[in-house]
Amino acid sequence: MELRYLFCKGELQLSLGTKIKTEARTRAATLRGAINEAIDEIKSEKKLERKLAILEQLDIFLKSFINKKHKAYESLGTRHFTPKQGEVSQEKTKPKITTLSVLYIQFETEKVATEWGHKAKEDYYTAFKALIDLVGDVVPAKVNNALANKYSQGLLTYPQRRAVGPNAKLSLKELTKRNSPTISARTAKNHFTRMNVFFNWLAQRKYIKANPLSGLSPKGKKTSTKKQPFNQDDLKLIFSQPLFKEKKYKCEWQYWLPILALYTGARLEELAQLSASDVKQEDTIYYLHIHSEENNQLKNENSARKIPLHCEVISLGFLDYLATRQGQQLFQLNKVSGKYGKNVTKWFTQFKQRLGFGPSKVFHSFRHTFRDLAVESGIPSEHIKALLGHTQGDVTHGIYGSGFSLRVLNASLQKIEVRNFCMNL
């Protein structure tokens, strides 16, 4: 209702262009996602021109999505109206689709509706903000070879945490003078790769003749530190702390998340986003259901899996803890920047630094440790990949296989004897 004033009609009718129920459901879900995403974006904007630009891009997307043979789609159309209180209107004319930022809305809307999860959306938008910071919000045609080179090289000196805290109020030139820490070469290349996809999209839509970024990926020196697993001494040090030995913690997740990461090899966000209902039982086997349903996110489609719970996790009282969280999130964590694990990362970084660990040992190291322990326990590599959510590289398991049964994976996982490496648990 709060956005009704933007539209010239009270409801939107769309033909899905198919009589096949399964296809109709898929198309409907895609349309709902695009429409809901646009509405959320409009609600978050104060400037009238930005609201109208988002609405116009949704209009374009819907026209391209609906089968042209069906004439059920009519333009959303906007009313002639005065801005609501709190909105800013700088022009009375309808915004033109010219600049990178306006076109990016259309690009983002299409990708969210067809491909991206929440993390991909955030990563691409972060990369896009860096692009605008370096080249300006210009029309696509102005990004010539010289400007593209400037962007590529500028990424190598682009400051960390550009839009956070005091940095957000300073210009790039001021941050450079202060010798602010820069993003890693790997992050610079990731930003470039994402914007290369955007410019390929612009070329495909005929907004530009060719992608000016092609072949210009930044060639900076690698600065990222390879993440290493925790070794036996590391595990003994970590799990001998009062947090684990005496259960002296402020939040239950500080105790359970490192243990679950070690015993399952799951990624932090996969664990942090779990609901109590995602811990299930099949026959006598308890397991974690890693999925992308409802509000859960996955790194990729291969990440969806069932991970049996190790008997040692159960003996530590995990099922008793689970009973206290029925009908709720498994852990009392709130999303920060779209991730449940943000505060966990912040806490664990401080925790491990107090113990003297360097940058190569992080929360993700538990995943590497699990893999090493699984190998040492003689677990078949195909089972390890299934437990970790990795792609099966061979034809038999990668194409024709339907996955291993929970019983088979459980038998393999129980071979890992973690307590031999951390006696204090």
Q: Where are the domains of the chain?
A: 232-420
For residue 404, the Cα-to-chain-centroid distance in whole angstroms is 27
This prediction's pTM: 0.57
Token pair belonging to 27: 């198309």
Question: How many Cα neighbours within 13 Å face the side chain of 256?
Answer: 21
Q: Would you say 22 and 94 are in contact if contact means Cβ atoms under 8 Å apart?
A: no
DSSP string, 362-376: -TTHHHHHHHHHHHH
Q: Output the pLDDT for position 244.
A: 94
Q: How far is it, in rounded angstroms, from Cα 36 to Cα 54?
A: 12
Beta-carbon contacts of residue 135 (< 8 Å; ≥ 6 apart): 143, 147, 150, 151
DSSP string, 184-237: -HHHHHHHHHHHHHHHHHHHHTTSSSS-TTTT----PPP-PPPP----HHHHHH
Beta-carbon contacts of residue 380 (< 8 Å; ≥ 6 apart): 412
In the 8-state DSSP scheme, what is residue 289? E
Hey, which residues does 282 pair with through a beta bridge?
285
Residue type, 278: D
pLDDT in tens, the chain (425 residues): 455 555 555 566 666 666 666 556 666 666 666 677 677 777 777 666 677 777 777 776 666 655 443 444 455 554 444 455 555 444 444 445 478 988 998 899 888 888 887 778 889 999 999 999 999 989 999 999 999 999 999 999 898 888 777 877 888 888 877 888 888 888 999 999 999 999 999 999 899 999 999 988 888 655 556 789 999 999 999 999 999 999 999 999 999 999 999 999 999 999 999 999 999 999 999 999 998 887 778 777 778 899 999 999 999 999 999 999 999 999 999 988 778 999 999 999 999 999 999 989 999 999 999 999 999 999 999 999 999 988 765 544 443 334 789 999 999 999 998 876 565 56
- First vs last Cα of the chain: how many Å apart? 55
Residue 211 burial by CB count (10 A; 0-12/13-18/19+): exposed, middle or buried?
buried
Q: Output the pLDDT for position 406.
A: 93
Token pair belonging to 24: 């109709």
Residue type, 314: I
Q: How far is it, in rounded angstroms, from Cα 8 to Cα 5?
A: 8
Residue count (the chain): 425
Domain 232-420, what fold?
Answer: hpI Integrase; Chain A (1.10.443)
